[in-house]
Amino acid sequence: MTGLSSLLGRLHLQPGRVPALSGGRPEATRLAIGTPAQELPTRLATLYTLCAHAHRFTASLALDAAVGRAFDAGADELQALRLATARDQVMRMAIEWPLRLGIAAQGDRFEPSLRGCPLWRSRGSHTDALAALPGWLAHHWLGPAPEVWLAALDADPARAVAIWCERAGGPLAALLRKVQRAALAIEASGPPWLPLDDPLANLPALAARLAHRDEPVAAGSVVPDTGPWTRSRDPLRAPVGDAWMRMVSRLVDLVRLAAPGGEQWLAHGALNTGPGQGLAWTEMARGLLVHWVALDGGGTRVADLRVLAPTDLNFHPQGILARALATMPARGSADAARLLAVAFDPCVEFDVVDDAPEAAHA
């Protein structure tokens, strides 16, 4: 890789091979070493543009923890995180899915609905945009209001989304119907990463591993995954064992964010892990994001930094996706591999190594 591609990174998916994944996201944090502490949030937002808001927010949390200062996120900051995450989920489903899966048939075009989406309004506050989101979502994508849709989900988690998908109009339901059979057939099960279930036990140990640049997590021989399906405040926390459930979880996440109480849906926090050191975490669109920072003796510059992003876990060579890819046929699996990668949602571009002619897209 050269130029911009070497800075952004790229993944290579190799069904039926071991290793089944190569390439990845480069270690961009080295570019922030020596940065004045107060500039770190902006620097990381520049380096990780796809999830800029989450990185800026998490870096601020980590810096405050490093100097022993309690970070109290205000109402507007929480609304901004909620808005950015909702916007990211809409972009995944309405823009990235059709492009990466080659789906653009009649009935599932998203352009008309996106023109009126309040998440991209240039005027008004975060609160105004989020207040308009439930109505837009109901009219263009869901049918019922978000709280009504969630009530059906809570009452019958196993069937509610499938029933909605079968009966609903709108571009998102049409797209999900097209990929449902193929996505259900792509198994990808393994341990979820849930450090926030026992933060006092898990997070100091994680900070120590990040500080020593060790592999951050391991569960037996499989690196666990993270995503909208592992939210710490999810009342259902349903197991996800296939590409379909991972794709559906992004819709569920968006609806939770749009429903009443959505400002409390995403967990975040920080703790001091030693002199001049702080660990912070934020649930964002792709899963749980973690920053660990160490400041110099004067507390004015970044002496060391680690970023553990969802892609680092979900596209790890010993992760759940890699294991699923390895079990696929070496030829003729390009569509299935692509669909699985879209379900896990990498923050870098990817390609599929498959010498056989591809089947028709789902």
Say if CB 172 and CB 98 are below 8 A apart.
no
Measured CA to CA, the distance from residue 73 to residue 263 in angstroms comes to: 12
Q: Which tokens hold the place of 310?
A: 């969802």
User: How does pLDDT run across 290-314, given as a tens digit for each residue?
Assistant: 999 999 999 999 999 999 999 999 9
Measured CA to CA, the distance from residue 216 to residue 278 in angstroms comes to: 16
**Residue 355 pLDDT:** 59
pLDDT exceeds 50 at position 121: yes
Residue 4 pLDDT level (bands cut at 50, 70, 90): very low
Higher pLDDT: 6 or 16? It is 16
CATH topology of domain 3-352: Cytochrome-c3 Hydrogenase; chain B (1.10.645)
Say if CB 288 and CB 116 are below 8 A apart.
no
User: How does pLDDT run across 199-209, given as a tens digit for each residue?
Assistant: 989 999 999 99
Q: Are strands 287-295 and 302-308 parallel, antiparallel or unpaired?
A: antiparallel
Say if CB 284 and CB 88 are below 8 A apart.
yes
Domain ranges of the chain: 3-352
> Of 20-34, 124-138, 177-191, which gets the smallest average pLDDT?
20-34
Q: Are strands 10-13 and 349-352 parallel, antiparallel or unpaired?
A: parallel
CA-CA-CA-CA dihedral for 326, 331, 332, 338, to nearest 10: 40
Higher pLDDT: 162 or 4? It is 162
**Residue 313 pLDDT:** 94
Say if CB 240 and CB 249 are below 8 A apart.
yes
